[in-house]
């Protein structure tokens, strides 16, 4: 039986092709890896913004409830006068660290004697760290609630 020897010329032409293939595969894998890192980073930023937005809504709600309680105290037949604008630092409340609520109250026209109408606006602000005017690179969110109320 006779074996044919491959020509040395064809071996010379194929030298380095495996190196080029390995280099191509490495570049493709690096591009896929960097795209995955970018997607994960964007996803975590979105989740952080959503969580801080929910905390801002809860801060606005807490400020609103506190201001409504000042205006309509329990076991008192008549509401109090519209309380002054007030800012609540909610950092001491579990889950509302770095959160503030600013609440305003406006009393407006009463169509019938003895009836009082109020408009409360509460803005909750939360951040991923302390909110300063010089803060850079923190996630910050704000939510606003409006409630209209009247005495019974």
Query: In this structure, is residue 7 part of a structural domain?
Result: no
Q: How would residue 140 be classed by pLDDT, with cut points 50, 70 and 90?
A: confident
Residue (of 83, 84, 93) closest to 62 by Cα position: 93
Range of the domain at 42: 13-150
Query: In this structure, is residue 8 part of a structural domain?
Result: no
**Domains of the chain: total:** 1
Q: Would you state the pLDDT for residue 57?
A: 95
What mean pLDDT is predicted for residues 44-61? 88
Burial 116-127 (b: 16+ CB within 10 A, else e): bebebbbbbbbb
Query: In this structure, is residue 3 part of a structural domain?
Result: no
Query: In this structure, is residue 33 part of a structural domain?
Result: yes
Tens of pLDDT, residue by residue over 22-37, are 889 999 999 999 888 8
Tens of pLDDT, residue by residue over 64-85, are 999 998 888 888 777 778 888 8
More confident: 131 or 57: 57
């Amino acid at each position: 039986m006779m074996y044919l020897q491959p020509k040395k010329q064809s071996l010379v032409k194929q030298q380095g092709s495996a190196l080029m293939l390995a280099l191509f595969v490495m570049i493709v894998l690096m591009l896929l890896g960097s795209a995955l890192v970018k997607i994960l980073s964007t996803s975590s930023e979105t989740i952080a913004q959503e969580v801080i937005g929910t905390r801002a809504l809860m801060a606005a709600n807490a400020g609103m409830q506190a201001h409504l309680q000042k205006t309509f105290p329990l076991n008192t037949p008549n509401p109090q006068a519209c309380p002054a604008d007030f800012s609540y630092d909610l950092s001491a409340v579990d889950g509302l660290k770095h959160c503030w609520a600013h609440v305003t109250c406006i009393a407006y026209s009463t169509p019938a004697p003895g009836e009082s109408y109020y408009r409360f606006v509460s803005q909750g602000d939360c951040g991923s760290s302390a909110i300063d005017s010089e803060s850079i690179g923190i996630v910050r969110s704000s939510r606003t609630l409006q409630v209209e109320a009247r005495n019974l």
